[in-house]
Amino acid sequence: MSQSKQQVYRLNTGGRIDRSRTLSFTFNGQRYQGHPGDTLASALLANGVDIVNRSFKYSRPRGIVAAGAEEPNAIVQLGSSEAAQVPNVRATQQALYEGLAASSTNGWPNVQRDLMGLFGKLGGQFMPPGFYYKTFMAPASMWLTYEKYIRKAAGLGRSPMEADPDNYDHFNQHCDVLVVGAGAAGLAAALAAARSGARVMVADEQEEMGGSLLASRETLEGKPADQWVARVLDELASCENVTLLPRTTANGYHDHNFVTLHERRTEHLGDTAPVENGHRQVRARLHRVRAGQVILSTGAHERPLVYAGNDVPGNLLAGAVSTYIRRYGVAPGRKLVLSTSNDYGYRAALDWKEAGCEVVAIVDAREAPAGDWVDAARAQGIKIITGSAVIEAKGSNRVTAARVAKIDIGAFKVSGPVQELACDTIASSGGYSPVIHLASHTGARPTWRDDILGFVPRLVKGVQACGGANGCYALGDVLAEGVEAGIKAAAAMGHAVQTVTLPSAERLQQGSAVALFQVPHEKPTLRGPKQFVDLQNDVTAAGIELATREGFESIEHIKRYTAMGFGTDQGKLGNINGMAIAARCLNRSIPEVGTTVFRPNYTPVTFGAIVGRHCRDLFDPERYTALHQWHVERGAEFEDVGQWKRPWYYPQKVNGKTETMHEAVARECLAVREKVGILDASTLGKIDIQGPDAREFLARIYTNKWEKLAVGKCRYGLMCKDDGMVTDDGVTSCLAENHFLMTTTTGGAAAILEWLELWHQTEWPELDVYFSSVTDHWATMTITGPEARKLLAEISDLDLDRDSFKFMDWRSGKVAGVPARVFRISFTGELTFEINVQANYAMHVWQTLFKHGEKYGLTPYGTETMHVLRAEKGFIIVGQETDGSVTPEDLGMQWCVGYDKPYSWIGKRALTRSDTKRENRKQLVGLRPKDPKVILEEGAQIVLDPKHAIPMPMVGHVTSSYYSPILDSGFALAVVKGGHQKLGETVYLPMADGQTHEAEIVSTIFYDPKGERQHV
């Protein structure tokens, strides 16, 4: 098939692309063509697209620099529809697919003609590091205004405004050996580990596994290296103990070899996941890997050289040039100048020449380069300029020439005349930086090695680095390191390795590299043209020099002042150069300056993958009682109590209008006080306590006494933490001499069970007692009100006589034909029976109650009515009247404290502290607003003198406040300093709206003060 005319930089042969098929795509609205196997970046280069973005701060035109995750410029917005928008995709990592639609993330109004560019050009001189801090911070109130425009000008992509149609999920993975990166080292390691039988996972972030071997000019066993890759992958794929994860980036390395992998499962197919068998495929998956051993074979990133104008489109990494030619069949220009400090860079020139393009010159910073690749270049007749470097790239939208001169690295100056070489592409290589990001996530600071001019990872337990990640670059050595790491890791997990024969690699002579982190210019750095260190964040060598001059000496401070290593880049391309420049300016060594801390994630991760399926109605568990469906059908509004959904109130339709909450609650309250109401109380925590020492245990864990509680009786209990503060309450019943049933608050159930176990296991193991949660086993239905007995009598075989089944008794019998335990306890102050049945029978019993309850006016009520009714009786709710700083005495509940119990109990000692004995502690009181129509605000602060100058001394606050239908008045519970001595006094509640309410301190019991109603 003939090549598309547009693909002017596409080579006729070579590369791992499928020229027989054409894919069309758009970039910034322009239509282009590429081939399967292309990345978006290689396709853009093939089509001669030079400018892919505008820079962050100076708005300079930028082109593609790299071929992998380290690409700083080609950050695009992806998505053909609003819902499919994905920001910050690196074009170098995005596989091309038919219909791909991408645009630049930066550039306003567009990349070719950028208004901000003017600002950048004019303002550039005036935008030193810290510019925003220095300029826009005053007046502080204006920052929000400035920010809006700065964001618009800067910006890195945007989020979609419509719901994402795709699915994401999490996989919990476990393996013996996790290999990160499937290049030469990783494949060798994986092969060695796999042959031991160990469970191996291999994650690689590229479309194809093989890393640099896919585009290498080197051979293995005398054949192209990618043949060995294919063989190894075949073997690994056939192993049941191996999981291969291509298109999967290891983004975070957390404690204990917990590694998060982000797998992009369908992003090479389209901008939304395809539908298969009626189900949309999972687009991205987060693998949460717990690995026994981790092998970091993440390779190395090439360091660009830092010279003036090194950001003009057409400046590329030498290795990227090779990759585009050899892997994607694209030569991204016609005339190349290569600037290098080492032998590796020469490969770009050799590949360029073999692709049939012109190499203008190789500019080598070394005086006398020597080595096999250098010889090969000489043999090809390529001109080599030694002891020199490209000191400046000319051109604005594309490189037009390279200015080349002799340099004196030691003296940091240009030492010879400048010559200008016409070219359209400048490739540079400053050597390699091992990819140490993941190892750094563990907190281990890397170590500088002078021999390789790079940082290598310092490793924690259970992790090895090999190959490029370990500063080892010669292919034969890389493979050997990989195999060794694989064997070691498998052995550490108890797996012995069979033989692994290494493929023979060429042994190449290499000259040593020279350290060159910034190329000198004729002008001093601060006054010369910009030399970019971090392209993504527009950090220049001058910026770093200025930062050091302004007193920023720590590399962490320099990073934050200049923004070096921020953003999606995370310092992949520029950090080492930046640190070295800082070291030069500070006159320190690189290890003295050190690195900044790399943090997860290595590359951006879509929120979808982070969230997985923990979203929408699966965001958090919803706990339901056995009666939930009835509540739903009855139209209940629900309240969240912990994870439980409890009916809050049941609004009814009256004359076609739905009741307000106020109306519904008033109706429900009166029904309980005058007839009978029913509450689903199943959510209360229930703990089954058995053992000969159960009673003694209760006496120690509760504040009150339990020694005399007889079988068949119930008692209210109060629990304190060891600091003497109330933490839970509830009724505990004596089922048998050695058997009790404890109830806890709904929210406290799990924590209280743990609390009991904690004290039993750590402090009182000598007590013979066991606890088991039976919360979910029982469904609890509370019928309460004057008609409760009549209703229950209709459907129960229990003797409900007031003298034989007294208040605070429990009995067992049948209710609606179902075995039940019935407790005569009351949280409303009315005659109450709490019916407990095995939860599977609950719906039947509940419905039977309603069948018989209609004539008695049986009314379901929710938590709001429960709150009003209990507050009318002055019953506390732990967590509402208490907040962890309230003692039983503060609540006026001395009656519930067994001061003279023989054995100490939790909280006892704390209650004798001077602070807990203090007289002006906040104490629980009732408040009756002077105006009965006023419902005080919960949380409202209480003062004694409303005329006092602000700030007024605050003496307490309202803890609960409601309208009482039975009293036809607002009323409240509150804590007031010394409140127990202030009965009858007037207090004031100044509100935010300027009103001040007046209230009288009264008893906490507003209704039926003698408690006669619950005893009837």
Partner 1 sequence: MSNAATFDTRTDTAIPVESPLAYSYRRSGAPQAGGPSRLQLRERAMLGHLILRGGAIVLDEAVRDVLGISLPGQPQALVQDASGERSIQWLSPDEWLVIVPGGEEFPLETKLREQLGSAHFAISDVSGGQTLLELSGEAARELLMKTVIYDVHPSNFPVGKGVTTVFAKATTILRRPSDERWELVVRRSFADYCYRWLLDAGAEFGINVQQ
Residues of the shown chain interacting with partner 1 in the complex, contacts defined by CB under 8 A: 167, 169-174, 199, 277, 279, 281-282, 288, 290, 613-614, 617-618, 620-626, 628-629, 644, 683, 688, 690-692, 711, 735-739, 768, 770, 772-779, 812, 814, 816-819, 821, 837-844
Q: Residue 828: helix, strand or coil by DSSP?
A: coil
Cα 27 to Cα 34, 80, 103, distances in angstroms: 12, 11, 5
Q: How far is the CB of 200 from partner 1 (least distance, A)?
A: 12
Which residue lies nearer to partner 1 by CB, 510 or 690?
Answer: 690
Question: 575-586 and 541-549 are packed helices; what angle lies between their axes, rounded to 10 degrees?
Answer: 40
- Compute CA 659 distance to the chain's CA centroid, rounded to the nearest angstrom: 42
Using CA atoms, how far apart are residues 137 and 130, in angstroms rounded to an integer? 11
Spatial contact of 570 and 576, defined as CB atoms under 8 Å apart: no
Nearest approach, Cβ of residue 853 and partner 1 (Å): 18
Output Rg (C-alpha) for the chain, integer angstroms: 38
Distance of alpha carbon 457 from alpha carbon 570, whole angstroms:
16
Q: Looking at the DSSP assignment, which residues form a beta bridge with residue 676? A: 858
Q: Tell me whether residue 607 or residue 770 sits nearer to partner 1 (CB atom).
A: 770
Least separation in angstroms between residue 626's CB and partner 1 is 7
Output the smallest distance, CB 773 to partner 1, in A.
8
CA dist list (Å): 208 to 127, 473, 890: 42, 21, 69
Residue 223 three-state SS: strand
Q: Is the CB of 766 or the CB of 915 nearer to partner 1?
A: 766
Residues 831, 810: Cα–Cα separation, whole Å: 14
> What's the min distance (Å) between Cβ of 972 and partner 1?
33
Nearer to partner 1 among residue 650 and residue 778 (C-beta): 778
Q: Are 356 and 10 in contact (CB under 8 A)?
A: no
> Of 679 and 818, which CB lies nearer to partner 1 in the complex structure?
818
Could you tell me the CA-to-CA distances from 918 to 88, 382, 841, 921 in Å, in that order? 61, 92, 51, 6
Closest to 916 measured CA to CA, from 930, 940, 928, 899: 899
Q: For residue 494, count other CB atoms closer than 10 A to its CB.
A: 11
Assess whether the previous peptide bond of 503 is cis (omega < 30° from 0).
no
Q: How far is the CB of 851 from partner 1 (least distance, A)?
A: 13
Q: Between 250 and 626, whose beta carbon lies closer to partner 1? A: 626
Q: Output the smallest distance, CB 924 to partner 1, in A.
A: 32
Q: Name the minimum Å distance from CB 441 to partner 1.
A: 20
The residue (of 568 and 746) whose beta carbon lies closer to partner 1 is: 746
Which residue lies nearer to partner 1 by CB, 51 or 769? 769
Q: Which is nearer to partner 1, 167 or 882 (CB)?
A: 167
Nearest distance in Å: CB 524, partner 1: 58
Task: Evaluate whether 253 touches 211 at the Cβ level (below 8 Å).
Answer: no
Q: Please report how close the Cβ of residue 293 comes to partner 1 at its closest, in angstroms.
A: 15
Is the separation of the CB atoms in 380 and 386 below 8 Å?
no
For residue 414 the two structure tokens come to: 């240009």
Q: What HEC string does 369-380 produce?
A: CCCHHHHHHHHC
CB atoms within 10 A of CB 418: 14
Q: Which is nearer to partner 1, 356 or 692 (CB)?
A: 692
Write the DSSP string, 475-519. HHHHHHHHHHHHHHHHHHTT------PPPPB-----PPP---SS-
What's the min distance (Å) between Cβ of 264 and partner 1?
A: 17
Q: Which is nearer to partner 1, 665 or 741 (CB)?
A: 741
311 within 8 A of 535, measured Cβ to Cβ: yes
| Shortest Å, Cβ 296 to partner 1 | 22
Which among 670, 666, 664, 671 is positioned nearest to 649, based on CA atoms? 664
Q: Are strands 832-838 and 818-823 parallel, antiparallel or unpaired?
A: antiparallel
To partner 1, the closest distance from the beta carbon of 827 in angstroms equals 21
Least distance in angstroms from the C-beta of 682 to partner 1: 8
Nearest to partner 1 of 628, 922 (CB atom): 628
Instruction: Quote the CA–CA distance of 90 and 71 in Å, as a whole number.
Output: 7
Continuous H helices in 12-60: 40-46
Structure tokens at 372: 């096999």
Which residue reads 């100490």 in tokens? Answer: 904
Closest distance to partner 1 from the beta carbon of 988 (Å): 45
Between 135 and 812, name the residue whose CB sits nearer to partner 1: 812
Q: Which is nearer to partner 1, 227 or 838 (CB)?
A: 838
Minimum separation from the CB atom of position 179 to partner 1 (A): 17
Judged by CB, which is closer to partner 1: 388, or 836? 836
359/815 with CB nearer partner 1? 815
587: which residues sit within 8 A by CB, 6+ positions away?
none
Give the whole-angstrom CA distance, residue 332 versus residue 48. Answer: 7
Min separation Cβ 295 and partner 1, Å: 19
Give the residue with the Cβ less far from partner 1, 170 or 458.
Answer: 170
d(CA 986, CA 376) in angstroms, rounded, equals 99
Bridge partners of residue 178, in order along the sequence: 201, 294
Cβ-defined contacts of 114-119 (< 8 Å, 24+) = 114/54, 114/59, 114/61, 116/54, 116/59, 116/153, 117/54, 117/59, 117/60, 117/61, 119/59, 119/153
Residue 642 Cβ vs partner 1, minimum distance, rounded to whole Å: 10
Of the pair 301, 628, the CB lying nearest partner 1 is at 628
749-762 and 694-701 helices cross at what angle (nearest 10)?
Answer: 110
Say if residue 717 is exposed, middle or buried (CB neighbours under 10 Å; 0-12, 13-18, 19+): buried
